[in-house]
Amino acid sequence: MIPVILSGGSGTRLWPLSRGQYPKQFLPLVSKQTMVQETLLRLAGLPGLKAPIAVCNENHRFMMAEQLWEIGIKPAAIILEPVGKNTAPAVAMAALSASSPDDVLLILPADHVISNIPLFHQAVIQAQQLAQQGFMVTFGIVASEPETGYGYIKRAKAQQGAAFEVESFVEKPDLETATAYVQSGDYFWNSGMFAFTAGSFLSELEKYNPAMLEICWKALNAAKTDLDFTRIDKGIFSTCPSDSIDYAIMEKTDKAVVIPLDAGWNDVGSWSALWDVTDKDGFGNAISGDVLTVDSRNSFIYAENKLVAAIGVDNLVIIETDDAVMVAPKDRVQEVKDIVAQLKTMQRSEADVHRKVYRPWGHYQSVDEGARHQTKRMVVKPGGKLSVQKHHHRAEHWVVVRGTALVTRGDEKLLLTENESTFIPLGIVHCLENPGVIPLEIVEVQSGSYLGEDDIVRFDDVYGRI
């Protein structure tokens, strides 16, 4: 069985913590591990697992690779989507990449919480057995309440074990309809998790959406291998129909079965959902960071950098990051996506990036900026190396705060240690790397007429970003 991790989402409803360039699946929201890491770690102990296949946005490739490396997992492939086309093409790429058509693919979104691991394992093992018999298996979450934010699956007659044939997939209902669904006991929340063999998926896709399969096959055949990544051809893949697994196959096939799952599942699709799965104090407050409360109840309060003090608040979500503060009633947090839409319309960077920006070599954080200057704090991992580059519009001063820096400046090579500095004039080809065994910390002061990140001309890059 091959776990297939789907990681294409942007997590806009968890803004300002989750952003386009650093979405929720790469954040440690419910434990010390990120959600991607939790998704794979909860599979430990399942028999017959092969190396996973991850499918992600190409902008997130280094985060995906590093987070898998941190937990000791080497994937069979990290497939990079040049454009988002929903889940069916993503799974088609994984199925075409499987080593055998008989491999069972366990399709898992990268941003779910499952608290009862033994029950989850039982359901997965049964799903594997059914998939090996040719069934297309989905996991239906036993509904705890009438939820209007999920699609539903209606069960039909019983199949093997705890499974049922699928009668229909239902769109997100209104509250009255959702209440009737839950009371009937015949409906489950649609989890977006599946199990089937690679051959079964491709056969059904060929039957119901042959154009999608043909384009995916051509795009994968034209793909290039770059480090640990499979880069899908953008020109071909851009022409692919965009569709979910449900619409493309599951609603049409006569092989669909659903396994009920009551294992503490949550898709963490909003701040209120995150409040549901987070430990709380005696007043129902879920608190993270430097937070003080007086007479406050049932709230989610997150402080990333500053002291946050809440007095007399009830059922609020308060999120503080280094460049934004978001406050909303808990029952209106779905509207956070409207704020993100406004930010994108205004072309504001807060929609996509934090002040701390992650790169394959480490990260940098903006400390201060003005019309013709900007100060950053840079951290370069041991062995990390920035690209060989130059700038047309800015000069840079580097001061080493911690560690050792190997600096290329034109034809010179400089080895700098703590409290030493250098100056990179405008237009000079340069490079920075960390030859040491501890993180290198640099204060960078930029000065010039234009300080945007697109003022970089790369000549060589060990991470393939030219």
* CATH code for the domain in which residue 453 is found: 2.60.120.10
| pLDDT single digits (tens) 131-175 | 999 999 999 999 888 888 888 999 888 887 889 999 999 888 888
pLDDT in tens, 393-414: 999 999 999 999 999 999 999 9
Does 280 share its domain with 378? no
48 domain-assigned: yes
Residues 105 and 153 in one domain: yes
What is the model's pLDDT at position 216? 95
Residues 46 and 159 in one domain: yes
pLDDT of residue 16: 95
Task: Report the interhelical angle of 87-97 vs 210-221 (nearest 10°).
Answer: 50
Indicate if 98 and 132 belong to the same structural domain: yes
Residues 442 and 379 grouped into a single domain: yes
Q: What is the average per-residue pLDDT within 440-454? A: 92
Residue appearing with tokens 């402080």: 303
Same domain flag for 327 and 250: no
280 and 242, same domain (yes or no)? no
Residue 466: which pLDDT band, with cuts at 50, 70 and 90?
A: low
Task: Return the minimum-mean-pLDDT range out of 8-12, 32-36, 170-174, 432-436.
Answer: 8-12
In a domain, 36, yes or no: yes
Q: What is the Cα–Cα distance from 67 to 25, expressed in whole angstroms?
A: 11
Residue 138 resides in a domain: yes
DSSP code for 173: P
Q: What is the pLDDT of residue 465?
A: 66
Give residue 181's domain range: 2-266
Buried b (16+ CB within 10 A) or exposed e, 64-86: bbebbeeeebebbbbbbbbeebb
Q: Give the model confidence (pLDDT) of 187-238 as tens digits.
A: 999 999 999 999 999 999 999 999 999 999 999 999 998 777 999 999 999 9
Return the percentage of the chain with pLDDT > 90, whole number. 77
User: Range with the lowest mean pLDDT among 54-68, 204-218, 349-363?
Assistant: 349-363
Q: Do 314 and 453 have their domain in common?
A: no
Q: Rounded to whole angstroms, how far apart are CA atoms 67 and 151?
A: 30
**The pLDDT value given to residue 302:** 96
Q: What is the mean pLDDT of the chain?
A: 93
The β-bridge relationship of strands 187-197 and 104-109 is: antiparallel
**Number of folded domains that form the chain:** 3
Residue 465 placed within a domain: no
